[in-house]
């Protein structure tokens, strides 16, 4: 009977939490829709433009804080705040490097979160996963090598060559640790983030002169990646609480 009660409780909790979570995510969907409606990249750089661009990610940070508490500022919520800082910097082309630093710190915070006990209890590796890690690192190295001649032609090659290399290392590290957690939403978010950043690099460093809907691809994949990472972290917290409840019921 206890098992049946626990299962029924879990189902009710998941159903109720999903409804509440969707309500909390409405500001994200609304602000993201507003961003695409106004299409900020085509407007002049301004504080208003920066606010509209960063609003969806800041709303996600608020949701993660609401579910996971203030300690999440040292994890995914903090990564989302740093990402919002990067969004703000990228509104002004001259602040591309500080923006990249903000995103690098965000990836570092995500990576550290995936090493915590909340995720490590479900993490595992197999030969198949090791092969997947190898593909991730190989793809990242290949992308960097492909970009290297264009980085060397940039206005500040002595800065961007090592900076992009460090950034590539951090984002693939984040994606690798996301895969290690076995959390599908987190892994998918990390992979989509890599696609978004690679598409942005192709355009920013003039690897391609013009890409139809290039900015649309960057921002759509970027917002989607952040959404998946945020929901994945909330889901991991809920599973941790459910495990604690089951242990309490058994005791």
- Copy the structure tokens of residue 247: 């242990």
Percent of the chain with pLDDT over 70: 85
Residue 1: its pLDDT value, please?
A: 42
149-177 pLDDT, tens per residue?
A: 999 999 899 999 999 999 999 999 999 99
Residue 244: its pLDDT value, please?
A: 56
Residue 42: its pLDDT value, please?
A: 65
203-223 pLDDT, tens per residue?
A: 999 898 777 778 889 999 999
| Arithmetic mean of pLDDT over the chain | 87
- Copy the structure tokens of residue 142: 């290949």
Residue 161: its pLDDT value, please?
A: 96
- Copy the structure tokens of residue 165: 């290399």
CB of 100 closer than 8 Å to CB of 86: yes
Neighbours of 135 (CB within 10 A): 10
pLDDT at 247 over 60: no
The mean pLDDT of 169-186, rounded to a whole number, is 94
Residue 126: its pLDDT value, please?
A: 76
Residue 16: its pLDDT value, please?
A: 52
61 to 57, 65, 166: CA distances (angstroms): 6, 6, 25
Q: What is the extent of the structural domain holding 173? A: 2-250
CB of 63 closer than 8 Å to CB of 238: no
Residue 166: its pLDDT value, please?
A: 97
242 to 22, 123, 230: CA distances (angstroms): 20, 17, 19
Count of domains in the chain? 1
Residue 9: its pLDDT value, please?
A: 46
pLDDT at 66 over 70: yes
- Evaluate if pTM is beyond 0.95: no
43-63 pLDDT, tens per residue?
A: 678 899 899 999 999 999 999
The mean pLDDT of 15-27, rounded to a whole number, is 80
Helix axes 127-152 and 184-204, enclosed angle (nearest 10)? 20
């Amino acid at each position: 009977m206890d098992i049946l009660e626990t299962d029924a409780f879990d189902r009710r909790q998941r159903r109720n939490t999903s409804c509440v979570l969707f309500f909390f995510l409405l500001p994200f969907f609304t602000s993201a829709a507003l961003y695409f409606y106004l299409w900020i990249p085509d407007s002049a750089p301004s504080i208003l433009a920066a606010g509209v661009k960063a609003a969806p990610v800041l709303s996600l940070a608020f949701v993660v804080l609401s579910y996971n508490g203030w300690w999440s500022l040292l994890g995914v919520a903090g990564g989302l705040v740093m990402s919002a800082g990067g969004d703000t910097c990228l509104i002004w082309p001259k602040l591309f490097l500080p923006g990249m630093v903000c995103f690098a710190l965000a990836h570092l915070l995500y990576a550290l979160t995936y090493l915590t006990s909340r995720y490590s209890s479900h993490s595992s590796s197999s030969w198949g996963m090791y092969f997947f890690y190898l593909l991730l690192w190989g793809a990242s190295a290949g992308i960097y090598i492909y970009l290297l001649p264009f980085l060397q032609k940039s206005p500040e090659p002595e800065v961007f060559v090592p900076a992009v290399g460090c950034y590539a290392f951090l984002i693939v590290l984040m994606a690798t640790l996301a895969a290690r957690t076995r959390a599908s939403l987190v892994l998918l978010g990390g992979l989509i983030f890599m696609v978004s950043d690679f598409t942005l690099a192709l355009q920013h460093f003039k690897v391609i002169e013009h890409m139809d809907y290039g900015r649309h691809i960057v921002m759509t994949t970027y917002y989607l990646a952040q959404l998946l990472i945020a929901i994945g972290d909330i889901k991991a917290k809920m599973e941790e609480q459910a495990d604690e409840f089951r242990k309490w019921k058994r005791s």
